[in-house]
Amino acid sequence: MFDLTCTGFINTHVHTSQQLGRGIADDVDLMTWLHNRIWPYESNMTEEDSYISTLLCGIELIHSGVTCFAEAGGQHVAGMARAVELLGLRACLAQSIMDSGEGLPASWAVRTTDDCIQFQKGLYEKHHNTADGRIRVWLGIRQIMNSTDHLLVKTRDMAKELKTGIHMHVAEIPYENDLVMETRKVDHGTVTFLNKIDFLQDNLLAAHTVWVNNTEIDLLSRAGVKVSHCPAAAMRMLGFCPVREMLNAGICVSLGTDGAPSNNRMSIVDEMYLASLINKGREVYANGTTDPTALPAETVLKMATINGAKSVLWDNEIGSLEVGKKADLVVVNPFSWPMVPIHDCISSLVYCMRTENVVSVICNGKWIMKDKKILNVNEEEVISAAKQASSELLRRAGIKIPTRMNVL
């Protein structure tokens, strides 16, 4: 009887800065979520908060077997980089970038487009290819509603010059598409406009991408754009993503957790299970009946591994267990109650495995978790620092979370 060994999982949409904000925006509408909770929270973060938040997030990622992740664009890349280096993980880090939009916190509203570009160039020069090559720096675009056309074009050009990727939230809600049609004079939404300005390229990682029509799916496919599907966050706030149609069109779709205030659980293991179930059930809307053959286990496992590697432009070194690739791998104990009995290993990994089955993790040839013990940081100390940093940050940001203990 042997443990199962699998290539490390790749989480292609994580907000490491938001880990200290877990639970600050449960059961609220999207605009309250953004304007009254997340922006005040993120705009009051210090670099130390970002460091502690990334440590806490990284611990949860490692426990679920993640060896590489793509930061969606958060606060203080320097804090993130320090934490990633210490944890031993691999990551593509990006700053949250916005140069326009309604309701921005005062400290963000003063940034010019050129400030945004120059700042990111500085981050790239300082942090790209550091930590034994485990850290790469990408460019961030938070979303189209907070970007001028000038910022989009400059970002496109700088990514080409630096030979790096761009991480952006794309077509998240119908309102976004409506606003783009109205202000940018195109006949559909964000993807149609991004195509018009030649922003759709094979180095673009588009998160969510829920509200796209067939023409836009075709545009994404032809340009080689990668899509990060975040099943839990989509169900909570955005809607059903046409994953099957995208995969059929040849788009590289991978999996992400999104941030803790959008999902609460940073487990790629849970996302694999959800991705399959949600997309089987979604067929009711697409074809009138559920389809148990939609997104089978092999497809979902590929989304969490090799498609993840392609999405972060790193598939020459990670995403599969092959001679010549980096040693990023996960050891799973399949002999406890969630996984016994096993008939088909791939089915068991996708449909039965829990985070608790992941026992050991190697990244870049080094153990970073062994027998469920995180090796490079003291988990209890990080938890204690996170509790304190979170309450101080919420106090500074003036965020009060109503307690619902009285219903128990």
Give the distance, in angstroms, between the CA of residue 106 and the centroid of all CA atoms in the same chain.
26
Cβ proximity to Zn ion: between 72 and 234 the closer is: 72
Picking from 269, 287, 271, the residue whose alpha carbon sits closest to that of residue 62 is 269
The three-class DSSP label of residue 139 is strand
Cβ pair 277, 74 in contact under 8 A = no
Q: Under the criterion CB under 5 A, does residue 227 sit at the interface with Zn ion?
A: no
Q: Which is nearer to Zn ion, 7 or 228 (CB)?
A: 228
Q: Closest approach of Cβ 36 to Zn ion, in Å?
A: 17
Q: 208 in helix, strand or coil?
A: strand
Stretch that binds Zn ion, among 1-9, 68-76, 85-93, 141-149 (CB under 5 A): 68-76
Q: What span, in angstroms and rounded, lies between the C-alpha atoms of 105 and 39?
A: 7
Task: Report the 10 Å Cβ neighbour count for 366.
Answer: 14
Shortest CB 13 distance to Zn ion, Å: 6
Select from 64-72, 140-148, 236-244, 293-301 the region that touches Zn ion (CB under 5 A): 64-72
Choose one: 78-86, 96-104, 127-135, 256-264; the region binding Zn ion (CB under 5 A). 256-264
Least distance (Å) between residue 153 CB and Zn ion: 23
Nearer to Zn ion, 88 or 256 (CB): 256
**Please, what is the minimum distance in Å from the beta carbon of residue 278 to Zn ion?**
17
- The residue number with the shortest CB distance to Zn ion is 72
Give dist(CA 5, CA 332) in Å, integer.
6
> Can you say whether the dihedral through the CA atoms of 191, 202, 69, 336 is positive or negative?
positive
How far out from the chain centre does Cα 36 lie? 22
Among 142, 205, 199, 202, CA closest to 176:
142
The H or E element that residue 153 is part of is: helix 149-162
**Closer CB to Zn ion, residue 216 or residue 258?**
258
Smallest distance from Zn ion to CB 229, Å: 12
- Least distance in angstroms from the C-beta of 72 to Zn ion: 4
Residue among 242 and 261 whose Cβ is closer to Zn ion: 261
The length of the chain, given as a count of residues: 408
Give which of 61, 81, 187, 194 is closest to 134, Cα–Cα: 81
**Site size for Zn ion, by CB under 5 A?**
2
In angstroms, give the least distance from the CB of 259 to Zn ion: 6
CB closer to Zn ion, 72 vs 94: 72
Which of 4, 45, 72, 144 touches Zn ion by CB under 5 A? 72
Check residue 258 for interaction with Zn ion (CB under 5 A). Answer: yes
Between 102 and 141, how does the x/- string for binding to Zn ion read (CB under 5 A)? Answer: ----------------------------------------
Minimum distance of Zn ion from residue 54's CB (angstroms): 15
Three-state DSSP class for 194?
Answer: helix
Select from 98, 87, 73, 78 the least CA-distant residue to 16: 73
Q: Which stretch binds Zn ion (CB under 5 A): 72-80, 87-95, 130-138, 289-297?
A: 72-80
Tokens of 8: 């490390």
Footprint of Zn ion (CB under 5 A): 72, 258
